[in-house]
Each structure stands twice: as structure tokens, then as C-alpha cells.
Amino acid sequence: MSDEVDFMKEHTEALWSLVTELFSDDEQERLRAVVEPKAPDADAVISFDDSLDGPSISHINCNRSGRYAIEDRDIFRPLQYCAMNFTSDKRPDWRNDPEWHTRDLIEMSSLHIESLIKNIGSVLHLPLGAALRNAIVKRKVDSTTWKQIEAFTHIYNDAKHNFSQAKDTHMFSVEDALLAYFVCRRLGSKLYPLADLATDIKIFEKECDEAEKM
């Protein structure tokens, strides 16, 4: 078995393990249907995302502008990049060559969690692994969530630093990328109450009003 397949298998198994902890049985069934195709339908991805609390693909922006307070830019800006994979004029690229988007999607999803952890611990210059071990973070984040984020960290690190897969192949599958995004969305929802956010999370539950459209 090639190194590439080994990497993919390891990542996929780790992500599905997190999914079983973070999502209900019904949600897992829906998620399997979304990520199963080699080139998942963007509308199906968006529909599942909208069923989750918080800043979904279709609610992170209003009129292509982020709906968050500027003080929280580091936390929510990465999700805007994720949204562009599915809502930009180049959306057909996702269907034609989706593997080329996988690493970026995982890295941007992970940056959302890294920024939340840095906010919670007031450790703005540490990477996720080190920030997670900060005493304030370990005190504020419950042990189950802490362990889930720790388990996810090696996937994030591979997305940032590891290019040792076989030549002209991709380390991550489309399934991996979508699972990582949804894992980070659910982890983010668990962390928002602990972060000192200037943004009212409830804004993402609403449709754009006329003031936001101006």
C-alpha cells in the first residue's frame, strides 16, 4: 500500500471517529450521503451546513461582506475562505478538480479553531498545539472537547506542513476535507461561549436584513 493511501486512510479514520463523537446518528447518516460522492454536490454541502448552528457557508456573509465584528476577524475570516469554495463564480472547479481544494479547505477550517483557542487562552502568538496546552485553555475547555481538538491537531499540522505523499497525488481526499470542515464547525460551536467574542453569534441564524445589504 502506498504512503499516500496510508495517509488518506489515517486521516479519514480519525475524522470519522470525531464525527461519531460530535454528531448525532441522524446527522451522521446525512453527512455520509453528502461526502460519499467523489465530487460532492455543492448545494448538498450547503444544505447540511445550514442545518448546523453558527456561521454556515450561506450565513457567514451578507452581500459578500462578513457578518462578524472586526475584532473577531481572525476567528471568522477563515470561514469566509471556506465559503468561497462553494459559492464563488468558480464553483464548477470544485466538481472538476475537487482534490486541489482539499488542503486549503482543511487549513482554513482549522484556523477557525486555532483562532478560537488563542482567544480563549489569550495566547495570540502560539500555534494550535501549544495554545491548546496553555493552562488557561485547559482550565476553560472541558476535557472531552479538549481531547477532540487535540486529536484533530495532527490533521491540521499535516495540512500545513506535510507534503510527503506520492508525486502528483493529494494527501487528503474530498471526503477528508468536508469532514474536517464540519468537525471544525461543530467544535467551533462548542468554543464560542468560552471565547471573548464581540460578535453576537445569533446574527448567523438570521437572513440578511436591509441594513446589512446596504
10 pLDDT above the threshold of 80: yes
Name the pLDDT band for 179 (thresholds 50, 70, 90). very high
What's the CA gap between 75 and 82, in Å, rounded?
Answer: 13
Whether the pTM exceeds 0.75: the reply is yes
Q: 46: Cβ–Cβ under 8 A, 6 or more apart, which residues?
A: 56, 57, 58, 86, 87
Name the pLDDT band for 88 (thresholds 50, 70, 90). low
Higher pLDDT, 98 or 25: 25
The per-residue pLDDT for 92 is: 44
User: What backbone phi and psi angles, to 5 degrees, belong to 65?
Assistant: -120, 135
Q: What is the pLDDT of residues 47-67, one digit of tens each?
A: 999 999 999 999 999 988 999
User: What backbone phi and psi angles, to 5 degrees, belong to 172?
Assistant: -115, 140
Higher pLDDT, 169 or 90: 169
Q: What percentage of the chain exceeds 90 in pLDDT?
A: 63
Mean pLDDT on 159-173: 64
Name the pLDDT band for 87 (thresholds 50, 70, 90). low
CB 178 within 8 A of CB 107: no
